[in-house]
Structure 1
Amino acid sequence: MERIAQLMYLYPDQQEEYKKRHDELWPELEAALKAHGASNYSIFLDKNTDILFAYLEVESKSRYNQIADTDICKKWWAYMAPIMKTNEDNSPVTKELHEVFYLA
């Protein structure tokens, strides 16, 4: 199992909308995440800065990264693009975090 942690960035005044959209996560996207080996996926919000911290565990990073090529992932990215910082392909702007400590 590999652990992934990253930061993402909401636009101002989009905290409630972001939560609402994740509360209503599409079943097809949930299935795709699981099919690509994702589990224990959590996203935390710093309400003062609009910065999101995402943590998930994957069976393989290379396998998980293939989700970016799926239609459902691209559709989700387009859906989320109006409320958060994104790249040209609508993928979220992320800052990868590097693990420095782990206690099992």
Structure 2
Amino acid sequence: MKRYAALIGLSEDGKADYRKLHAAVWPAVLAQISASNIRNYSIFLKEPENLLFSYFEYHGSDYAGDMAKMAADPTTQDWWALNMPLQRPLDTRSDGEWWADMTEIFHHA
């Protein structure tokens, strides 16, 4: 199992829509997340800065392959098309990132 965390901004104008979407995530999107070996997935909102922090645990053996399958899923693509315009990627993210990956520097189990 590997833990992943990422950060992105959320537009003030899109905050209500983002909350509404995530209060009733489509069942097919949730199924795809599970099929991609993702567990304990959470998204937190920090206000008033409007920063989204995501955390999940990956329980598979081919992270790149599972993420590629998720990205190719038509329902997931539709879900992302609704959510991405509401998000504000950080200027400091790495090339190819939408959500900026974070490095774990401490963990206590």
Q: What range describes the TM-score normalised by the shorter chain of this pair?
A: 0.7 to 0.9
Q: Which runs of 5+ in 1 are unaligned?
A: 87-91
TM value normalised by structure 2? 0.81
Q: Which runs of 5+ in 2 are unaligned?
A: 90-96
| Residue correspondence of structure 1 range 5-44 to structure 2 within 5 A | 5-44=5-44
1:62 is the counterpart of 2:69: no
CA distance in 1, matches of 2:102, 2:81: 24
Matching residue of 1:89 = none
In the alignment, which of 92, 100, 104 is matched to residue 99 of structure 1?
Answer: 104
Conserved 8 A contact 1:11-1:84:
yes
Q: Aligned-pair distance for 1:28?
A: 0.3
Q: Aligned-pair distance for 1:63?
A: 4.1
SS in 1 for 2:105: coil
CA distance in 1, matches of 2:5, 2:36: 17
TM value normalised by structure 1? 0.85
Between the aligned residues of both structures, percent identity stands at 31
Count residues in correspondence. Answer: 99
In structure 2, what residue type is equivalent to 1:62? A
| Residue correspondence of structure 1 range 56-95 to structure 2 within 5 A | 56-60=56-60, 61-66=63-68, 67-85=70-88, 93-95=98-100
Q: Aligned-pair distance for 1:18?
A: 1.0
Task: Please give the per-residue CA displacement for 1:3-62, whole angstroms capped at 9, x wherever unaligned.
Answer: 110001111232222111011100000000000001101111111111100000111332
